Amino acid sequence: MNFIALKMLTGDRAKYLGLIFAIAFCTFLLENQTSIFAGILRRTGSQILDVSDADIWVMDLKTEYFEQTKALKDTDVNRVRGVEGVQWAVRLFKGNPIARTLDGRFASCFALGLDDATLTGVPHKMLLGSWERLREPDAIVLDKAGYILLFPGEPLQIDRTLELNDHKAVIVGISDASAPFLSNPVIHTRYSQAVNFVGRERTQLSYVLVKAATGVRPQEVTRRIEAQTGLRARTTDEFRWDCIRYYLKNTGIPVNFGITIAIAVIVGTVVAGQTFYLFTLENLKQFGALKAIGVTNGRLTRMVLLQAITVGAVGFSFGTGLAALFFEITLREIATRGLVLMWQNVLITGGCIMLVIVIASLLSIRRVVVLEPAEVFRG
For residue 369, give the nearest of 252, 290, 255, 258 by alpha carbon. Answer: 290
Among 178, 198, 230, the domain boundary falls at: 230
Residues 173 and 157: their CA atoms lie apart, in Å, by 8
- Over residues 102-157, the pLDDT tens digits come to 888 999 898 999 999 888 888 778 899 989 999 999 999 999 999 999 999 899 99
pLDDT tens digits, 147-187: 999 999 899 999 999 998 888 999 999 998 888 888 889 99
Total of domains in the chain:
2
Residue 112: inside a domain? yes
Task: Supply the pLDDT for residue 80.
Answer: 95
The CA distance from 122 to 109, in Å, is: 17
Q: How much is the pLDDT for 257? A: 83
Q: Are residues 115 and 10 in the same domain?
A: no
270 belongs to a structural domain: yes
Q: Is the pLDDT of residue 377 over 60?
A: no
Domain stop point among 197, 230, 263: 230
**Residues 26/353, Cβ–Cβ less than 8 Å:** yes
Residue 203 has pLDDT above 70, yes or no: no
Q: How far apart, in whole angstroms, are the C-alpha atoms of residue 275 and residue 294?
A: 28
Q: Which of 104-118, 287-301, 340-354 has the lowest mean pLDDT?
A: 287-301
Output the pLDDT for position 280. 72
pLDDT at 302 (0 to 100): 81
> Structural domain of residue 9, as residue ranges?
2-43+252-378
pLDDT per position as a tens digit, 37-47: 888 888 888 88
60 inside domain: no
Do 146 and 281 fall into the same domain? no
In a domain, 294, yes or no: yes
Residue 57 is assigned to a structural domain of this protein: no
Q: How far is CA 118 from the centre of its chain?
A: 31
For residue 352, the model assigns a pLDDT of: 81
Same domain, 160 and 265: no
pLDDT of residue 259 exceeding 80, the answer is yes
Q: Are 194 and 91 in contact (CB under 8 A)?
A: no
Q: What mean pLDDT do residues 292-311 have?
A: 79
Instruction: Indicate whether 353 belongs to any domain.
Output: yes
Q: Given this model, what pLDDT does residue 71 score?
A: 86
DSSP state of 115: P
Q: For a pLDDT cut of 90, what percent of the chain falls above it? A: 35
The reply to whether 169 and 267 lie within a common domain is: no
What residues contact 114, with CB distance under 8 A and at least 6 apart?
92, 120, 121, 122, 134, 188, 189, 190, 191
| Per-residue confidence band for 213, with pLDDT thresholds at 50, 70 and 90 | very high
216 in the same domain as 91: yes
Q: Does one domain contain both 329 and 258?
A: yes
Same domain, 225 and 95: yes
> Would you say residue 379 has pLDDT above 60?
no
One domain for residues 256 and 226: no
Nearest to 75 by CA among 236, 231, 235: 231
Residue 108 lies in a domain: yes
Q: 226 and 256 share a domain?
A: no
Q: Do 192 and 294 have their domain in common? A: no
- Residue 237's identity, in one-letter code, is D
Specify whether 14 is located in the same domain as 160. Answer: no
Are residue 102 and residue 226 in the same domain, yes or no? yes
241 in a structural domain: no
Phi and psi angles of residue 351, each rounded to the nearest 5 degrees, phi first: -65, -40
